[in-house]
Structure 1
Amino acid sequence: MLKVRPQVHIAPLGPDDPTELGGYELLGRIGQGGMGQVYLGESPGGEPAAVKVIKPSVVDSETRMRFAQEVEILKTIGGARIAALLDADPDAERPWLATEYVEGLDLSRHVAAHGPLPPLLVAALGATLAEALAGVHRQGLLHRDLKPANVLLGPNGPKVIDFGLAVFAESNVSLTAPHTVVGTPSCMPPEQANGEKPLTPAVDVYALGAVLLFAASGHPPYRAHTIHLLFHQVVDPTVAPDLSGVPDELAPLLGAMLAHRPQDRPGLPAVVRGCRTLIEAQGLKVAQARRKLTTYSAAPTHVLDDLLALGRVSAPEARPTRAQQDSAPVVPPAPAPAQPSADPRLLLRRDHTSPEPSADTPAPQPPARAVGAEDTAGAPAAAPLSSLSPHRKPDRPSLRSSAQARITARRLREAYAASAPF
């Protein structure tokens, strides 16, 4: 049966939002979190981008250091499953970075809309993400915050995003205060929740197991009404992860990945082999299963094309005042010249925060407070960029005059105003 897929959430710019950063025209909002905002941007050459900006209220020396570290980390990693870094300026008044725009829902929203994935597709997702994480680990890095909201299901397959909490493996150095834990509790392994250092690649194996468990069942390994109780469940070796709803063929692999002790978890190559075994048992090759996953999860409607189509008019018009709107006659809109486009108001939502919880509350373990990971759904990351240097700002293009971008932004604002109840 053909599924009607929800649109990617894109909201118009607010009065306090910038309209341009580093040469990128900002067209709308696509995500937000405790520390930053993510915008849909367009480069001077028309390339779409996800532009992540730190909120002015949280810009301080420590935030800048963490943001600069994220940029440096993204310059060292890459691959087909990591959304590419395009440009960045951590030294700007409002630090920002621009990454590849992946058109599609994150795994959290996809499962919320359509339910758990079939076992074959969970195995395909597992093999794909395990291979991507193995490439990150070969660079001596750990993601540390893999979760359903950080897996985007794009038209070319899944991609891992948001390396804001990534660190170099075997490092005892931290940019956070002593006795703090950083990450998302629902996908956090016990050693990370306990604030242990140094962490090992096993933390990402556990997080991947939590992501695959969510994909297969629709719930995380542990659930609780309070973050304190959640932390208690995660760190208690006598409390087993909840594998209810997981198909029998996936349960052994996921149970091993979610083992309490890091040394009891399989390595990422073993995870890939386990997923391959499940796929091949159904008479398919891994590449075939990955194509089925992409076909199943990729949205057929290109939201970006719909947005840009809103601006295809001959010239921008002055927006009428409220009095003019009230007195003006109602004129039916002209029919679309080509394929019909979705009502732009259906593309506009005010709630862009991922349902994934963040650790912003003290953990119940030895004096530790949880510092929340920035939850920026749809904020991609990655790929080497030799032209960026921590010692020199790259040259910035001057503010350009993109009529189409301005018109698109104006149409978004008008459509949102027309549907707002005030």
Structure 2
Amino acid sequence: MPIAPLSPHDPTELGGYELLGRIGHGGMGQVYLGESPGGEPAAVKVIKPSVVDSETRQRFAQEVEILKTIWGARIAALLDADPEADRPWLATEYIEGLDLSRHVASHGPLPSLLTASLGATLAEALATVHKQGLLHRDLKPANVLLGPNGPKIIDFGLAVFAESSVSLTAPNTVVGTPSCMPPEQANGEKPLTPAVDVYALGAVLLFAVSGHLPYQAANIHVLFHQVTDPAIAPDLSGVPDELVPLLTAMLAHQAQDRPALDDVVQQCRAVIEAQGFKVAQARRRLTTHTAAPAQILDDLLPPAEAPTVPLSPTGQPGAEAAAAPSTTEPGTASTQVLPPTLPEPKPERTPTLVDSPKAQSETPGATDPAQSPPPEPAAGPGRAPSNLPTPGPRAKGRGGRPRHSAQARITAQRLREAYAARATF
């Protein structure tokens, strides 16, 4: 996920989380990459000071309470929150990877096999949310993160309790993303049903496999008209034949005509198995195709400066620096710079995707992907490393003691490697 540097006006610490950079923003808040005192990465969402009022706090507190009730392997977990702080914030699990919108923009649409795997995964995740009495209400490509362990759903800020008539939204106000919004939600109907998330998931899968959404218009009023007019069918151009029946049903104008999420899972399984794959194989291929190279927070920070080794009062370097040429006059106390020599990383080969099982069996040395782990994905276009600025003063942990930061750890590691390479034992 692209990381932008902090601005001079950004906080450097919130609720014990050290903020390292910006990873997203919206109309109401900013999302930062943070690190807990114990080194746990987190996405820290902060409400902008300009929009903090009693209604915003109430809505934000509702979001926190909803996140406390949601669980599931495909849901970004809540870590901590404080809606009563001067700047209300919440911290959720940090997922390293692009969202579906950016992935398709950078790498193109997904093949039908991987789209069906994505559909089965997300439908199962939404079914878990619905069992907890909740609706997402704002599922869209930008809210699907493609992490190293598979896709996960984020941003339950608009989530509501199913069958509930209680809302913080003003009357006749429609909140959500119109291009992924079902007609009944666009018309302001209440209460909403699980069918709204089925429609939104259909829009997400359509985007994944074709690169476009069901309706597109430059004018928001024209877009709302297209969504709510039953005579205007969604645009399914570019959709493979095997997915047309499923997406047509999921994007049906009437909520009662859409399939249940369990049926979506079964139909996605049928598409996968018709191509000769097992569901687990397709899931691994999806993750291999979409996951960004694994990184640790140290990789997102500026490189450590070269270590310095003090010279003795006589001007002679210590045993560790004996092989390095001196840059000071004899008798002068100074320091000797020893740049550590680290091995260059070898480039990885991008794996070939969506090979059929038959083609694999005809290839000498090929193995069934179900019996061997998928290759590590290589860095691709649009996944450039970030250039974060040098962090400011480190936040202190409990008890007032400075805690070891990621920058300190990488410096110590490079020192150890540099000295170990020159040691005589």
> What interval of TM-score do these two structures reach, taking the shorter chain for normalisation?
0.7 to 0.9
Partner of 1:271: 264
Structure 1: distance between partners of 2:265 and 2:399: 46
Partner of 2:199: 206
Structure 2: distance between partners of 1:126 and 1:399: 48
> Residue 16 and residue 247 in structure 1: after superposition, are their counterparts in 2 closer, same or farther (change >3 A)?
same
- 2:236 maps to which of 206, 218, 243: 243
Determine whether 1:347 maps to 2:397. Answer: no
The Cα of 1:41 is off from its aligned counterpart by: 0.4
User: Scaled by the length of structure 2, what TM-score is found?
Assistant: 0.75
Determine whether 1:179 maps to 2:172. Answer: yes
Partner of 2:156: 163
Structure 1: distance between partners of 2:122 and 2:384: 34
- 1:310 maps to which of 303, 307, 310: 303
Residues 34-73 of structure 1: pairs in structure 2 closer than 5 A? 34-73=27-66
Q: Is the 8 A contact 1:172 1:198 kept in 2?
A: yes
> Residues 82-137 of structure 1, C-alpha deviation per residue, up to 9 Å, x if partnerless?
01110000111100000110000000000000000000000000000000000000
Partner of 1:382: none
Determine whether 1:13 maps to 2:23. Answer: no
Structure 1: distance between partners of 2:14 and 2:102: 28
The Cα of 1:309 is off from its aligned counterpart by: 6.7
Structure 1: distance between partners of 2:36 and 2:293: 24
The Cα of 1:308 is off from its aligned counterpart by: 4.3
Query: Residue type of the partner of 1:401?
Result: P
Aligned sequence identity (%): 77
Q: Is the 8 A contact 2:306 2:339 kept in 1?
A: no
> Residue 245 and residue 227 in structure 1: after superposition, are their counterparts in 2 closer, same or farther (change >3 A)?
same
> Residue 397 and residue 404 in structure 1: after superposition, are their counterparts in 2 closer, same or farther (change >3 A)?
closer
> Residues 208-238 of structure 1, C-alpha deviation per residue, up to 9 Å, x if partnerless?
0000000000000000011111011000000
Residues 261-410 of structure 1: pairs in structure 2 closer than 5 A? 261-302=254-295, 304-308=297-301, 310-311=303-304, 337-340=342-345, 346-348=385-387, 397=398, 401-402=402-403, 404-405=405-406
> SS in structure 2 opposite 1:259?
coil
Partner of 2:125: 132
Query: Residue type of the partner of 1:204?
Result: D
> Residues 229-266 of structure 1, C-alpha deviation per residue, up to 9 Å, x if partnerless?
10110000000000001111011100100000000000
Q: Is the 8 A contact 2:302 2:387 kept in 1?
A: no
> Residue 313 and residue 209 in structure 1: after superposition, are their counterparts in 2 closer, same or farther (change >3 A)?
farther
The Cα of 1:267 is off from its aligned counterpart by: 0.5
Q: Is the 8 A contact 1:276 1:286 kept in 2?
A: yes
> Residues 297-334 of structure 1, C-alpha deviation per residue, up to 9 Å, x if partnerless?
0012526341147347669xxxxxxxxxxxxxxxxx95
> SS in structure 2 opposite 1:180?
coil
Q: Is the 8 A contact 1:23 1:400 kept in 2?
A: no
Structure 2: distance between partners of 1:336 and 1:11: 28
Determine whether 1:91 maps to 2:84. Answer: yes
> Residues 32-88 of structure 1, C-alpha deviation per residue, up to 9 Å, x if partnerless?
011010000000110100000000011111111111111111111111100111000
Q: Is the 8 A contact 2:300 2:387 kept in 1?
A: no
Q: Is the 8 A contact 1:70 1:163 kept in 2?
A: yes
> Residue 399 and residue 104 in structure 1: after superposition, are their counterparts in 2 closer, same or farther (change >3 A)?
farther
Runs (5+) with no aligned partner, structure 1: 1-7, 316-332, 350-395, 409-422
Structure 2: distance between partners of 1:299 and 1:312: 27
Partner of 2:141: 148
Paired residues, number: 339
Structure 1: distance between partners of 2:341 and 2:273: 46
Determine whether 1:221 maps to 2:221. Answer: no
> SS in structure 2 opposite 1:130?
helix
Structure 2: distance between partners of 1:24 and 1:339: 32
Structure 1: distance between partners of 2:400 and 2:212: 45
> SS in structure 2 opposite 1:28?
strand
> Residue 336 and residue 125 in structure 1: after superposition, are their counterparts in 2 closer, same or farther (change >3 A)?
farther
Deviates more, 1:283-292 or 1:209-218: 283-292
> Residue 402 and residue 204 in structure 1: after superposition, are their counterparts in 2 closer, same or farther (change >3 A)?
same
Q: Is the 8 A contact 1:205 1:268 kept in 2?
A: yes
What value does the CA root-mean-square deviation take over the aligned residues? Answer: 2.5
Partner of 1:383: none
Structure 2: distance between partners of 1:345 and 1:259: 39
Bigger relative contact order, structure 1 or 2 (CA pairs below 8 A, ≥6 apart): 1
Q: Is the 8 A contact 2:83 2:89 kept in 1?
A: yes
Partner of 1:101: 94
Query: Residue type of the partner of 1:205?
Result: V
Larger Rg: 2
Q: Is the 8 A contact 2:120 2:269 kept in 1?
A: yes
> SS in structure 1 opposite 2:146?
strand
